[in-house]
């Protein structure tokens, strides 16, 4: 088990008031996979971890989300030059690490052009703030173990699958090796999503029991074709309407339950209240505390 200082981390970042929220275990037990939050409110999913307060897609961001009481975290998975899966959003290492200083001759510093050992040496925290210096780009293995230790649940995004042929099989292999494909995880602690329809379809074909999501806003007329291999349609919030949410909900997903909607990336109380009013099932947010307060009000 992790021995990280839970309360100390949250208090340092958010202040004592944040600690009045329920702890990780209490929250985790309140929300099953694709089930609503308290009182039927949308599930709140910490986007790239609690990424408004800690460097995105790091173990620190996952830990902070747990300390704030959030069971669900979202991440982004890509593949290194030597075939390791790592958790990072951009296909370049430049924005969130010190790669340009550490490897000046390696432009354009793509994830796929660096080995896992090289990426493991990078500082993925200082760009966000000096106090986060030394945070690393986690491997998927490290990330899964930490999410498990925290008792959390994972919305895993296969990022830019067109850059990484076969990444679906690799992802499923690592998930299996780390114990994430047993019944307990698959039934209520794991959703795999992607902007790539072929990638979502590949995951479903290889592991039909896994809950999947398509990132995007397909035309209503096209929704039935997505429902053949996915359980969620996860659109950006900007153009979302109540009518679109209702149209998605009218269909059944591949596992026979109503097709669901988790929208992103909703970071203000006003936007959270708006999309909650549309009846979305989940809200993916950098500011999970703001969204929780808004939807539970």
Q: How far is the CB of 265 from ligand G3P (least distance, A)?
A: 6
Catalytic-residue membership of 204 = no
Site for ligand G3P in 83-102 (CB under 6 A): 89
Strand partners, 158: 77
Task: Please classify residue 178 by burial: count the beta carbons closer than 10 Å to its beta carbon, then call 0-12 exposed, 13-18 middle and 19+ buried.
Answer: middle
The residue of the chain with the least Cβ separation from ligand G3P equals 264
The rounded distance, in Å, linking the Cα atoms of 47 and 145 is 18
Nearer to Ca ion, 21 or 34 (CB): 34
- 232 interacts with, out of Ca ion, ligand G3P, none, CB within 5 to 8 A per kind: none
Q: Which of 84, 148, 157, 231 binds Ca ion (CB under 5 A)?
A: 157
- 264 interacts with, out of ligand G3P, Ca ion, none, CB within 5 to 8 A per kind: ligand G3P
Q: Which of 89, 204, 249, 255 is catalytic?
A: 89
Structure tokens at 126: 């200082």
The helix (H) or strand (E) run that includes residue 85 is strand 85-87
User: Is the Cα torsion angle 107, 60, 295, 226 positive or negative in sign?
Assistant: positive
Interacting residues of 134 by C-beta distance below 8 A, sequence separation 6+: 123, 125, 126
Structure tokens at 217: 């806003």
Nearer to Ca ion, 174 or 284 (CB): 284
Q: Which of 284, 290, 294, 295 binds ligand G3P (CB under 6 A)?
A: 284
Q: What is the DSSP letter of 47?
A: T
The residue of the chain with the least Cβ separation from Ca ion equals 157
Three-state DSSP class for residue 145: helix
Under the criterion CB under 6 A, does residue 215 sit at the interface with ligand G3P? yes
Nearer to ligand G3P, 27 or 159 (CB): 159
Under the criterion CB under 6 A, does residue 189 sit at the interface with ligand G3P? no
**Stretch binding Ca ion (CB under 5 A), from 49-57, 132-140, 150-158, 228-236:** 150-158
Site for ligand G3P in 111-170 (CB under 6 A): 157
Nearer to Ca ion, 10 or 70 (CB): 70
Nearer to Ca ion, 87 or 272 (CB): 87
Interacting residues of 228 by C-beta distance below 8 A, sequence separation 6+: 254
Q: Using CB under 6 A as the criterion, what x/- string covers residues 228-267 for binding ligand G3P?
A: ------------------------------------xx--
121-147 in b/e form (b: 16+ CB < 10 A) is: ebbbbbbbeeebeebbbbbbbbbbbbb
Under the criterion CB under 6 A, does residue 74 sit at the interface with ligand G3P? yes
The rounded distance, in Å, linking the Cα atoms of 153 and 167 is 21
Under 8 Å between Cβ of 244 and 264: no
Catalytically active residues, by annotation: 47, 89
Report the interface residues with ligand G3P, using CB under 6 A: 47, 74, 76, 89, 157, 215, 264-265, 284
Report the interface residues with Ca ion, using CB under 5 A: 76, 157
């Amino acid at each position: 088990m992790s021995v990280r200082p839970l309360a100390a981390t949250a208090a340092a970042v958010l202040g004592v008031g944040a600690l009045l929220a329920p702890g990780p275990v209490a929250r985790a037990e309140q929300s099953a996979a694709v089930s609503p939050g308290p009182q039927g409110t949308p599930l709140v999913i910490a986007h790239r971890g609690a990424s408004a307060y800690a460097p995105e897609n790091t173990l620190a961001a996952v830990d902070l989300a747990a300390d704030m009481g959030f069971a669900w975290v979202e991440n982004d998975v890509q593949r290194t030059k030597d075939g390791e899966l790592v958790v990072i959003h951009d296909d370049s290492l430049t924005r969130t690490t010190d790669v340009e200083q550490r490897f000046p001759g390696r432009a354009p510093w793509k994830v796929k052009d660096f080995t896992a050992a090289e990426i493991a040496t990078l500082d993925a925290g200082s760009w966000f703030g000096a106090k986060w210096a030394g945070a690393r780009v986690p491997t998927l293995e490290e990330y899964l173990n930490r999410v498990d230790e925290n008792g959390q649940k994972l919305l895993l995004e296969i990022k830019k699958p067109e850059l990484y042929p076969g990444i679906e099989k690799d992802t499923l292999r690592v998930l299996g090796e780390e114990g994430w494909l047993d019944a307990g995880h698959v039934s209520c602690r794991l959703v795999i999503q992607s902007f790539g329809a072929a990638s979502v379809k590949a995951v479903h074909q290889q592991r039909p029991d896994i809950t999947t999501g398509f990132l995007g806003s397909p035309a209503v007329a096209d929704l039935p074709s997505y429902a053949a291999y996915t359980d969620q349609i996860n659109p950006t919030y900007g153009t979302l309407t109540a009518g679109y949410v209702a149209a998605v909900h009218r269909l059944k997903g591949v596992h026979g339950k109503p097709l669901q909607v988790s929208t992103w990336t909703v970071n203000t109380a006003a936007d959270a209240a708006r999309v909650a009013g549309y009846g979305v099932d989940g809200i993916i947010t950098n500011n999970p505390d703001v969204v929780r307060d808004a939807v539970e009000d």
